[in-house]
Amino acid sequence: MTYFRLLRKNLTRKKLRLFLTIFSIFTAFLIFGILKTFDSALNAGIELAGADRLITSSKVSLIQPLPFSHYTKIKATEGVANVTHASWFGGYYQEPKNFIVSFAVDAQSYLEIYPEIFIPQDHQENFLANRQGVLVGEALAQQYNWKVGDTFPLISSIWTNQDGSRTWEFKVEGIFSDPEEKFDTRSLMFHYVYFNEGRTGARDTIGWLVIKTESPEVNEAVSKAIDEQFANSPNETKTDTEAAFGKAFLEQFGNIGLIITSIVGAAFFTILLIAGNTMVLAVRERTNEIAVMKTLGFANGRIFTLIILEALILVLLGGLPALGFSWVLIEALKGAVGGALPPMTLTPEIFLQAIAYMVLLGFVTGGLPAFNAVRINVAAALGRKAL
Amino acid sequence: MTSLQQIIAITVMNMKGLRQRFWQSSAAILSIALVITVMVGFLSMADGFEKTVAGTGSDDVVIVLREGSLSELTSGFSLHQAKLLSTAPGVAKQNGEPLVSFELYVIVDLLKKSTGLSVNAPMRGIEQTSLKLRDNVKIIEGRMFEPGRNEIVVGHNAREQFAGLGLGEMISFGNSEWQVVGVFDAGGSVFESELWADAKMVQAFFNRGTSYQSVRMKLAGPESLQEIKNFAEADPQLNVEIKTEADYYAAQSKPITTLIRYIGYPLAFIMALGALAGALNTMYTSVLARMGEITTLRALGFGAFPSFVGILTESIVIAIFGSAIGLVLAYVFFDGMLVSTLNGASFTQAVFEFSVSAKLITHALALSVVIGFVGGFFPALRAARMPIADAFRITQT
């Protein structure tokens, strides 16, 4: 009998148990795949953070606007290499359910501060030259089938323009992407000048500022200097590193994400524990068979390898299809959930992490009984059988 | 012995055996307990959220927002528009005055007690009449704020969740200072997450001039909603969206209910299947290990059906036991847990409580009976059906 055949025979000796164990492992890794994807989507904001970027917003709250003069004052603060600002537009396309992450920015400096936003050179030039131009993220452009040169109206849930409507016209001058997929490309940005001159209320205010410091070491000093500058003024500020800002924002969703992650994470490990336990038992049942094999002259190493391999195959049989299936489910979910959730992708990292867990599980559940099997005293094991 | 007596005898024997096989059954018990904990924990969150946020607002109060606004936060009216709205037909009246309330809704940064990080807390500017549109609000500690003063009252969930909102404490937003003078209860609605102050004071300190963000109106009768809508449509000065308060809050909570529905429930379902497979596996192993015992009984003249019932009962008892442990854990860990999350388009924290309700407990127990039944049925069937001679041979090898 070849080793392969021996493996197969061992695996399939109890078909029902084989199926059930594979199924448990399948569910565990299905949960893992979906959950990890969900979790990393929630955390995407933190990964974006540049070490030398700070964010200044109103101390009262993120939505409270700041006067434009803050921009010039912060620019002159020591340790500040570059500043840009952005204002929330609250736009949607045609109907409120097509909500779009959209903001008005000081275009030139915004693109300087976020070098990860990738735009072809000619797109960038055209965008900077057209006040009514808009830069659309790749994913968003795909969703609404917008191409460079198209014009489309965007409705703001907040801002009314000169003719009394909340519909604003834009022309697509560029499509941006982020090769590292950290900047949300389901968003769009356009010129602050166009926005500010067009709107009827809150003129010459800005939403928040993004500051690039001379180096990460001066972050603390710079943020302190900025906040002190405006202390006791009608528009006090709060300055944080981009990472802290992102984390705080994430924390707002806080509990729900955390609860889902931790509860379901617990389930993942329990299901694995139970499946693992079954696998350990399955090998232990064969103690005397192993003793017979040893008597026949099978080397310890061989037996060890056989058992480990058996466990690995079992885990992979359950785990790999689960990853495939979770990918399918996530793709389906994307459509169903739409804009309600951050973009979700089952990344290669998550895939590799899952494989690592599978291998680990295989080694642990196979290793324990394999180790015992190797140590079996043949006479004792066969003797036990005789009882 | 009659069949019934046999069933009783075998069941009693199996139950007694359970104690000896405790560690063998513990894998099944553990898996069921955990699944129940996780599911009940999750569902108690979903229930709590839906009860608090989606369940806020009454059907006979309408909320008027500027057209296209996704929430109160982005809406806005001039005083003139607000007054115009309150002349609409269909608005209920009290002593000749329309029951309307002009309100503001702003965000203030507060620290969340559990994490020490700042979050978007909702602050509402209200008028005296606002309370008449919210029957379920009552001050449970301290008193109501006085108009024209820097005083706030806070929802009791807000006080629990955010730092610095104790009765009598001073709190500053930007360069305005406010004193907490009262705590209110709002019948478990999302209003309990909010801070309330005099609308005029909020206008002054948040640079809102004389503008408002939402207008609430009490409906006079079932036809009134349409009357108000017609009125607003006929007037070119009013570009508004009118919804009942109940519909508005249901829509606000949609992103999170979607999250729960599309991520939570499928995961819970997959978990239940995983646990079922675990339970089945354990039962099979356990039945197989006792095949000798079972066959001996049958050889002694016990019927196949009593053996079947005995094993099935054992499996159900294990499942109920596991689920009872799970329920206790879920109750201890989750019931009454106060959490908050960023609620959809209102962009502010909604505080809500996990609630492990009687309904949930019943569902969990029912589920465990199903798991126990399915988990025991096939192994029991197998044990009962196997020819005695074959069964003996299996136990020999």
Structure tokens at B67: 């057209």
Residue A9 has pLDDT above 60, yes or no: yes
Looking at the domain assignment, is residue A88 inside a domain?
A: yes
The identity of residue B241, as a single letter, is E
What is the rounded average pLDDT of the residues A338-367? 82
CA distance A186 to chain B (A): 17
Residues of B in contact with A38 (CB under 8 A): 263
- Of A28, A158, A254, which has the smallest distance from its Cβ to B341's Cβ? A254
Q: Are B315 and B373 in contact (CB under 8 A)?
A: yes
Looking at the domain assignment, is residue A247 inside a domain?
A: no
Residue A387 has pLDDT above 50, yes or no: no
Does one domain contain both A126 and A208? yes
Give the per-residue pLDDT at A288. Answer: 78
Chain B from 322 to 381: CB within 8 A of any A CB: 339-342, 347, 349
Structure tokens at A268: 């993942």
Does one domain contain both A65 and A213? yes
Q: What is the pLDDT of residues A74-94, one digit of tens each?
A: 999 999 999 999 998 988 998
- How many whole angstroms separate alpha carbon B196 and alpha carbon B185? 12
Does one domain contain both A29 and A112? no
- Average pLDDT of chain A is 85
Which of A200, A235, A270 is the C-terminal boundary of a domain?
Answer: A235
Residue A148: Cβ within 10 Å count: 17
- Burial degree of B9 (CB within 10 A; 0-12, 13-18, 19+): middle
Name the DSSP letter for residue A62: T
- How many whole angstroms separate alpha carbon A387 and alpha carbon B263? 53
Give the per-residue pLDDT at B370. Answer: 87
Q: What is the pLDDT of residues A33-77, one digit of tens each?
A: 888 887 777 766 556 667 789 999 988 877 788 999 999 999 999
Residues of B in contact with A266 (CB under 8 A): 34, 38
Domain of residue A370 covers 3-45+254-386
Residue A192 has pLDDT above 80, yes or no: yes
Looking at the domain assignment, is residue A312 inside a domain?
A: yes
Looking at the domain assignment, is residue A240 inside a domain?
A: no
Buried b (16+ CB within 10 A) or exposed e, B371-396: bbeebbbbbbebbbebeeeebeeebe
Strands A99-105 and A187-191: parallel
Residue A197 has pLDDT above 80, yes or no: yes
Looking at the domain assignment, is residue A242 inside a domain?
A: no
**If you measure CA to CA, which chain A residue comes closest to B264?**
A260
- Of B107, B255, B274, which has the smallest distance from its Cβ to A61's Cβ? B107
pTM listed for this prediction: 0.80
Three-state SS for B104?
Answer: strand
Does one domain contain both A38 and A85? no
- How many whole angstroms separate alpha carbon A200 and alpha carbon B122? 26
Does one domain contain both A225 and A323? no
- The residues of chain B scoring below 50 in pLDDT are 396-397
What is the end-to-end Cα distance of chain B in Å, rounded? Answer: 32
Give the per-residue pLDDT at B228. Answer: 93
Give the per-residue pLDDT at B397. Answer: 44
Contact A337 B115 (CB under 8 A): no
Q: What is the maximal distance between C-alpha atoms in chain A?
A: 96
Buried b (16+ CB within 10 A) or exposed e, A10-24: bbeebeebbbbbbbb
Q: Are B201 and B72 in contact (CB under 8 A)?
A: no
Does one domain contain both A275 and A231? no
Looking at the domain assignment, is residue A288 inside a domain?
A: yes
Give the per-residue pLDDT at A48. Answer: 61
Residue A196 has pLDDT above 50, yes or no: yes
- Burial degree of B346 (CB within 10 A; 0-12, 13-18, 19+): buried
Question: Higher-confidence residue: A365 or A2?
Answer: A365
**If you measure CA to CA, which chain A residue comes closest to B339?**
A255
The pLDDT confidence band at residue A386, using thresholds 50, 70 and 90, is very low
Q: What is the pLDDT of residues A226-265, one digit of tens each?
A: 999 998 888 889 898 888 887 777 777 765 666 667 766 7
Q: Where are the beta strands (DSSP E) in B116-206?
A: 118-126, 138-142, 151-155, 170-173, 176-185, 195-198
CA distance B214 to chain A (A): 13
Looking at the domain assignment, is residue A364 inside a domain?
A: yes
- What is the ipTM metric for this complex? 0.71
Which of A203, A235, A267 is the C-terminal boundary of a domain?
Answer: A235
Looking at the domain assignment, is residue A40 inside a domain?
A: yes
Does one domain contain both A217 and A260? no
Does one domain contain both A212 and A173? yes
Chain B from 40 to 99: CB within 8 A of any A CB: 41-42, 45, 67-70, 73-74, 76
Number of domains in chain A: 2
Does one domain contain both A21 and A91? no
Q: How far is CA A141 from the centre of its chain?
A: 21
Contact A60 B173 (CB under 8 A): yes
Residue A181: Cβ within 10 Å count: 16
Contact pairs from chain A to chain B, CB under 8 Å: 179
Helix runs in B61-219, H state only = 79-85, 156-161, 199-205
- How many whole angstroms separate alpha carbon A295 and alpha carbon A287? 13
Of all residues in chain A, what percent carry a pLDDT higher than 90? 35
Contact B284 A232 (CB under 8 A): no
Q: Are B184 and B138 in contact (CB under 8 A)?
A: yes
Of A167, A129, A133, which Cα lies nearest the Cα of A149? A133
Does one domain contain both A72 and A210? yes
What is the rounded average pLDDT of the residues A10-16? 83
Does one domain contain both A34 and A131? no
Does one domain contain both A124 and A204? yes
**CB under 8 Å to A66, separation ≥6 — which residues?**
A56, A57, A58, A205, A206, A207, A208, A209, A235, A237
Strands B170-173 and B176-185: antiparallel
Distances (CA, A) of B130 to A186, A216, B64, B163, B273: 40, 50, 14, 26, 50
Give the per-residue pLDDT at A226. Answer: 93
Contact B267 A260 (CB under 8 A): yes
Contact B267 A271 (CB under 8 A): no
B118 touches chain A (CB under 8 A): yes
Which of A208, A235, A262 is the C-terminal boundary of a domain?
Answer: A235
What is the rounded average pLDDT of the residues A9-38? 86
